[in-house]
Amino acid sequence: MKEKKKETRRDFIKKSAGAAALLSMPTIVPSTVFGANGKVSLAVIGVNGRGRSHIQGFMNLPDAEVTCLCDCDLNVLEPRVKEFETRYSKKVKQQQDLRRVFEDKSIDAVSIATPNHWHSLATIWACQAGKDVYVEKPGSHNIFEGRKMVEAANKYDRIVQHGVQLRSSVAVQEAIKHLRDGLIGRVYMARGLVFRWRGDIGKKGPGTVPQGLDYDLWTGPAEMKPYSEDWVHYNWHWHWNWGNGDVGNQGTHETDLCMWGLDVGLPEVITAGGGKFVFDDAKETPEVLSSTYLYPKEKKYIEFEVRPWMTNAENGVTVGNIFYGTEGYLVVYNYDRYETYLGRDYKPGPSRREGGDHYKNFIDAVLAHDKKMLNAPVETAHLASALAHLGNIAYRTGRTLYFDPATEKFVKDKEADKYLTRPERKPYVVPKVV
C-alpha cells in the first residue's frame, strides 16, 4: 500500500478521536492502517442467513479477510465458527455482542447482516467507532433511522455500502445508461415486481428463550415482546416490530432500481392496498401489496407489486423491474440481466447478462477511502429503504398520503408521521444527533 493512503487514514484517525460515545463506551478508532498483512480486516455481524454469503464474498477477495464472526445467538455462532475454520483452515474470533466488535481496534470494517431493526443503529455505532460498513438491505427499519445513518456516515467520513448487488452488475449499469441516453424515449414509469414463494409460518405463540440466545440483545432497538418462534429467527421479516414485509425485504433491490432508473428521489403522493388472503398464520405484514408512488413535478410514476404464492410472471419477470418509455420498454431480470423492446412492434433491442462483485467494490472503496467509488452509497440505502417504508405506511393508514421529500415528513398528517420512527428502548437508542 502506498504511503499516501496510510497518511490519509492516520489523518482521519486523529480527527475522529473523541467522537460520540457508543452507549457508555468511548468511541474507538482503529490504531492501525489496515491488518498486519495489508488486508482489510472485517467482522461479519449476524451469521444466520445473509451473513454466510458475506463471509464467502469477502473471503474470496485477495484484499479482505474476515477475522471475526458475531451473532447474539450462540446456537448460530458456534457452528458458523467451526464451518469457517474448517473451510478456510484458520482461526476466527467470535463475539456474541456487537459492541465488543466495535471496541476491537484490529477490525477495519464490519459487514452487517442482522435483522432489519438493527441495521441503522449498528451502522451508526460502527461509523462512530471508525469502522467502514457494508450493510444489508434495507438500510433502515424506518425513515428517521435511515436519515441518521446517512448523517453518521458523513460526519465520521466512513465508507458505507448498501447490500444491493444489482448496483454492481455490469448489465444493470449498462441498462441504466440506456435509460439515460434515451434508448426507450422519455422514461416515465417504473414497475417493481417481487413474486416470491412465501409459505404458511403457522402460529406458535409465546415460548421459552433458548439457552445461548441473548434475546434482549436480539431485540435491541425494537420494542421488547415475549419470545416466540413466530419471529426468531427468519420470520421476523413478517412482523412490523422487526421487519418490513417483502417490499422492504427482497423488494428493496427493486425499489432502489426503480428510483435509480427513473432518476428520482422520494415521491410526493403514495397509495397502497393489499392484505392477507392466502394463509391464516402469524404474519402481520401483507402477503399481497400493491403500492404506487407519484412524482407530479417530474411526471413520473412507480408501481410496485408484492405477491406471495402462485402467480404469473410479467414479461418473464418474477423478481425484477420494467421501465416504460415513449419509444419502448426495458426489462431487468433479477440482478444481472436486461432486455429491451422498441417501438409498437416490440422489436428486440440491446440486451446483456453480466453480474459484478459488490463486495469487491466495497473493499476497493475502503482501501482508497473514496466513497465516490461506491456503487451503492449510504444515501441510496436510505432512499431505497424509505420508498418501501412509504408504501407500508400508506397500507397501514389505509389512505392516500402526501409527503414532503425536503423535510422527509408527511404533509399535515400527524398519524402518518408516527410511522416515521419508533419509541426508544434504552440502551439501544438511535441518537437524534449522531
- Structural domains in the chain plus CATH codes: 3-165+359-370 (3.40.50.720), 167-358+386-420 (3.30.360.10)
Cβ atoms within 10 Å, residue 157: 14
CA distances (Å), origin 133, targets 58, 150, 166, 304, 331: 13, 12, 18, 29, 31
The 3-state DSSP composition of the chain as helix, strand, coil percent (nearest 5) reads 35, 25, 40
Place of cell 492516520: 10
Q: What whole-number distance in Å separates Cα of residue 254 and Cα of residue 367?
A: 29
Give the model's pLDDT for residue 37: 78
Give the confidence band of 46 by pLDDT, cuts at 50, 70, 90.
very high
Question: Angle of helix 50-59 relative to helix 358-368, nearest 10 degrees?
Answer: 60
pLDDT tens-digit readout, 55-84: 999 999 999 999 999 999 999 999 999 999
pLDDT score recorded for residue 331: 98
Q: Is there a cis peptide before residue 427, judged by omega within 30 degrees of 0?
A: yes
d(CA 257, CA 178): 14
**Is pLDDT of 5 > 70?**
no
Separation CA 156–CA 15 (nearest Å)? 9
- Beta strands per DSSP E along 181-327: 187-195, 269-275, 288-295, 300-307, 319-325
Q: What is the DSSP letter of 73?
A: B
Residue 150 pairs in a beta bridge with: none
Mean pLDDT, residues 267-276: 98
Average pLDDT value for residue range 180-203? 98
> Residue 385's CB: how many other CB atoms inside 10 A?
30
pLDDT of residue 24: 36
Q: Which residues lie across from 163 on neighbouring strands?
A: 136
What SS3 class is residue 408? coil
Query: What are φ and ψ of residue 432, in 5° steps?
Result: -70, -30
CA distance 330 to 326: 11
**Backbone phi, psi, residue 107, to 5°:** -95, 125
357-374: pLDDT as tens digits: 999 999 999 999 999 999
Q: What mean pLDDT value characterizes the chain?
A: 93
Length, in residues, of the chain: 434
- Please list, in sequence order, all residues whose beta carbon lies within 8 angstroms of the beta carbon of residue 426, skipping any fewer than 6 positions away: none
pLDDT at residue 270, rounded to an integer: 98
- Residue pLDDT, tens place only, 111-133: 999 999 999 999 999 999 999 99
CB count in 10 Å sphere of residue 192: 31
Distance CA 417, CA 9 (A): 40
Structure-block grid coordinates of residue 281: 398464520
CA distance 344 to 386: 35
Q: Residue 36: its pLDDT value, please? A: 60
C-alpha 105/C-alpha 129 separation (Å) is 9
Model confidence band, residue 33 (pLDDT cutoffs 50, 70, 90):
low
